[in-house]
């Protein structure tokens, strides 16, 4: 299975100040966020969500999100990707990953095209409790 790191998501209590740090101090460029038509609950306010794009595609790079304790319940997920941060991997066969998680009895949350146009998402904790996101093309 081929994979790559698609993005890193960091929790930011003050998204605008954090985005300014990455932009003004580290020299990253903030990019606009494009929402898919089938979007679930995802805050669109620039005070709640920012993208520091790396230029590979429309949403790869660094994501900054304000923590929302109700994010998971608003999206019928068992994992909350807005709290604590996570790394997102992109794979060429998301269905194979879902089958492996199911066979191993590992709890996961799966979405359709939800936060990023053209991608489905799976959220799962690794054995150390780190939240990871695994993406595959729709």
All structural domains of the chain with their residue ranges: 3-137
Dig out the tokens for 27 from the structure.
């020299």
pLDDT digits (tens, 9 = 90+) for 49-87: 999 999 998 899 999 999 999 999 999 999 999 999 999
Q: In the 8-state DSSP scheme, what is residue 97? A: H
Q: What is the pLDDT of residue 40?
A: 81
What mean pLDDT is predicted for residues 11-40? 92
Task: Kindly tell me if the per-residue pLDDT of 38 is higher than 80.
Answer: no
Q: What is the pLDDT of residue 58?
A: 87
Helix (H) or strand (E) holding 92: none
Which residues have CB under 8 Å from 29's CB, separation 6+?
23, 52, 53
CA distance 81 to 87: 10
Do residues 101 and 109 make contact, with C-beta atoms less than 8 angstroms apart? no
Do residues 51 and 33 make contact, with C-beta atoms less than 8 angstroms apart? yes
Dig out the tokens for 40 from the structure.
């679930």
Fold (CATH) for 3-137: 2,3-Dihydroxybiphenyl 1,2-Dioxygenase; domain 1 (3.10.180)
Do residues 5 and 89 make contact, with C-beta atoms less than 8 angstroms apart? yes
CA distance 70 to 85: 15
């Amino acid at each position: 299975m081929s994979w790559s790191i698609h993005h890193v998501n960091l929790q930011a209590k003050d998204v605008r100040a954090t985005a300014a740090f990455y932009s003004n101090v580290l020299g990253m460029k903030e990019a606009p966020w494009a929402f898919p038509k089938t979007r679930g609950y995802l805050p669109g306010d620039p005070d709640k969500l920012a993208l520091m794009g790396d230029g590979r595609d429309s949403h790869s790079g660094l994501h900054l999100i304000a923590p929302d304790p109700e994010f998971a319940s608003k999206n019928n997920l068992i994992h909350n990707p807005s709290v604590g941060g996570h790394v997102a991997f992109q794979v060429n066969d998301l269905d194979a990953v879902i089958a492996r998680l199911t066979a191993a009895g590992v709890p996961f949350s799966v979405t359709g095209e939800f936060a990023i146009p053209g991608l489905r998402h799976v959220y799962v904790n690794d054995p150390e409790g780190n939240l990871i996101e695994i993406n595959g093309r729709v």
